[in-house]
Structure 1
Amino acid sequence: MAVERVSIRRITAGEIDVFRSIRLEALRCEPASFASRFEDWQFLRDEEWRRRLNDPIFVAFCKSEPVGIMGFVRFRPRKMAHRAMLVSVYVRKSERGTGIAADLLDVVSDYARCLGILQLELAVSAENSAALGFYHRHGFIEVGRIPGGLLDGDRQIDDVIMVRRLDR
């Protein structure tokens, strides 16, 4: 059986339908994995989707279909511009374990390095053991926690803060 080729690229403001499709899928299929809710994004106007693409968003495609997403938001103050926050990380369940998440992280990291970013940061639910394991395997270290950083109904869930240096 041949392995299907996956391509990863930064999407542009003209590709809001691709962005909308994979982002809403992520929020619908993995609601516990994100601070945002599906309802927060469901009815955004096209202009808002385009604005959110001002920050780099990369999508993994299999047979021209989006199957994964990862982006980052660079910190704006000049003294913090060497840092960026990973956002919108998701790979479709049927594609997990294939290396797509690692490939997305490599592409995002390389792009960030080209912009002079020295450190990637993220916040992940303390209950998301798969994501925590992935980030640990890929060089992220835990630097702190925000107790009750997420509210899921009546449940308070800690946010784990992790960083990975890109200049080492």
Structure 2
Amino acid sequence: MFAEASDMWVGSKAELVSMYVRSDQRGQGVGGRLVDAFVEWAKGRGAARMHVTAYSENAAALRLYESRGFAPKSVTLAVDLDPGT
């Protein structure tokens, strides 16, 4: 997703909304290449900032994003209202 600057954001931003690498492809650099392609796409559009969301329990994803320069900037808190979901 790409969003131009607005009243809320002083610069344009790109957000990697969802990414999944099949388990049989993990550890082969696929995720890194996908993130790198996203970064290049965002830069090409003129993004001033990039965002990505990962589950806090997904240590491998966090390591991947942090290895590409992403750092925590905010915290999202959630509660499951229906334990069956």
| TM class, shorter-length | 0.7 to 0.9
Question: Residue 62 of structure 2 aligns with which residue?
Answer: 132
Asked if 1 retains the 8 angstrom alpha-carbon contact of 2:18 and 2:53, the reply is no
Q: Who is 1:142 aligned against?
A: 72
Larger Rg: 1
Q: State the Cα distance separating 1:118 from its structure 2 match.
A: 2.0
Specify the alignment match of 2:3 in structure 1.
75
Q: Which 4+ stretches in 1 moved above 2 angstroms?
A: 78-81, 150-155
Encode CA deviations 1:118-160: one digit per residue, 9 max, x unaligned: 2110222111111111111111101121222x638439xxxxx
Q: Is the 8 A contact 2:2 2:13 kept in 1?
A: yes
Gaps of 5+ in 1: 1-72, 156-168
Superposed counterparts of 1:64-143, under 5 Å? 73-76=1-4, 78-79=5-6, 80=9, 82-143=12-73
If each structure's strand is expressed as a fraction of its own residues, which one has the higher value?
A: 1
List alignment gaps of at least 5 residues for structure 2.
none
Higher relative contact order (CA 8 A, sep 6+): 2
Using structure 2 for the length normalisation, give the TM-score: 0.79
Aligned length in residues:
81
